[in-house]
Amino acid sequence: MKHDYYPPGIKGIDGDYTAALAGNPNTGKSTVFNALTGLNQHTGNWPGKTVTQARGYYRHRGKTAVIVDLPGTYSLSANSLEEEVARDFICFAQPEVTVVMADATCLERNLNLVLQILEITPKVVVCLNLMDEAERKGLKLDVDQLADELGVPVVPTAAHIGRGIAELKDKIHSVAVSEILPRPKPVTYSQQLEEAIRQLETSLQRVYTNGISRRWIALRLLEGDHSVIEAIREYSLAEGKGAE
């Protein structure tokens, strides 16, 4: 199943773990991608899509990390092709780590995507980029408190001058090899909605969901978005065929 998501050629690189790079546009995502992978990059289209995908790799602490650059999106609501591609990769390819970029100069706007991704997977590292610009603007950010509030590691960076990249690699490694087990604090909804989520989660236990967060699937079902279920149906069929 995992391999369905790789464009031709990527199968050649078998990393020890895969990290997806998600984030809003204009957060310096490509800069971070370049800083992480240097010249070890390949670009291609997502299979069957007109969205370009870049991937690369680097070695760190004796392991090879494959980085997949997801399209820049503001949310994962599958409103557009880009959002769908990003969402499906996180859901179905299940990278060991998802790095979510956030622009330090407009944190609030960027936290939306972070919180949405945390509903899908706990294995997240937040990369708080453009820290130097935030400092110039006189913004004071309490990185430790942010990590505490979100329940996942947060790495402050200024990628265009290479600041924080080493630490980012460290944190990606730690989450990938489960040295760190992030415990995100979920967004809580109204009592009725939470009750409905709980009931659906119970029915979801009878369905093979390939390890995708049940709470997240429940939420999508409740808001009438069936595309996730259809995607699960498609992929479980493909999986079934592959196993035969």
Partner 1 sequence: MGVDAALNLDELIEHGRELRNKLGPETEIQDEIVTSIYRRAEAIASKVAAQAGGRGRDWNKTIDDLLTSRLVGFPLMLLLLGGILWLTISGANYPSNALAALFFMLEDKLTFLFLRWQTPEWLHGLVVLGTFRCLAWVVSVMLPPMAIFFPLFTLLEDLGYLPRVAFNLDNIFKRCGAHGKQALTMAMGFGCNAAGVMAARIIDSPRERMIAILTNNFIPCNGRFPLLISMAVLFLGAGGLKYGSAIASLTVAGMVLLGIGVTFLVSYVLSSTMLKGISSSFTLELPPYRRPQVLQVLVRSVLDRTLFVLWRAVKVAAPAGALVWVLANTNIGGMSIIEHLAGYLDPAGRLIGLDGFILLAFILGLPANEIVIPTLLMSYLGAGALLELESLSAMRELLLARGWTWLTALNVMVFSVLHFPCGTTLLTIKHETGGWKWTIIAVLLTTGTAFLACLLITQVVQTLGLLF
Using CA atoms, how far apart are residues 206 and 214, in angstroms rounded to an integer? Answer: 11
240 counts as binding partner 1 under rule CB under 8 A: yes
224 counts as binding partner 1 under rule CB under 8 A: yes
CB 152 within 8 A of CB 122: yes
81 vs 166 by CB, closer to partner 1: 81
Q: Give residue 218's Cα distance to chain centre.
A: 19
Least Å from the CB of residue 18 to partner 1? 26
9 vs 25 by CB, closer to partner 1: 25
Least Å from the CB of residue 180 to partner 1? 20
Phi, then psi, of 163 in degrees rounded to 5: -75, 130
Among 187, 211, 227, 242, binds partner 1 (CB under 8 A): 187
Least Å from the CB of residue 155 to partner 1? 15
Q: Which residue in the block uniquely carries the two structure tokens 């599958």? A: 78
Q: Is 160 helix (H, G, I), strand (E, B) or coil?
A: helix
Q: Is residue 138 packed enough to be buried (19+ CB in 10 Å), middle (13-18) or exposed (0-12)?
A: exposed
CB 33 within 8 A of CB 20: no
**Which among 173, 177, 180 is positioned nearest to 147, based on CA atoms?**
180
Largest CA distance in the chain: 60
105 counts as binding partner 1 under rule CB under 8 A: yes
Q: Is 193 helix (H, G, I), strand (E, B) or coil?
A: helix
List binders of partner 1 among 63-82 (CB under 8 A). 74-75, 79-81
Among 12, 48, 62, 188, binds partner 1 (CB under 8 A): 188
With contacts defined by CB under 8 A, name the span among 55-63, 86-94, 133-141, 172-180 that binds partner 1: 133-141
Least Å from the CB of residue 69 to partner 1? 18
218 counts as binding partner 1 under rule CB under 8 A: yes
CB 36 within 8 A of CB 67: yes
142 counts as binding partner 1 under rule CB under 8 A: yes
Least Å from the CB of residue 234 to partner 1? 11
183 counts as binding partner 1 under rule CB under 8 A: no
Among 18, 24, 53, 129, binds partner 1 (CB under 8 A): 24
CB 242 within 8 A of CB 2: no
Which residues of this chain interact with partner 1, rule CB under 8 A? 24-26, 50, 74-75, 79-81, 105-109, 111-112, 114-116, 136-142, 145-146, 149-150, 187-190, 192-193, 196, 199-200, 203-204, 206-208, 218-219, 221-224, 226, 229, 232-233, 236-237, 240
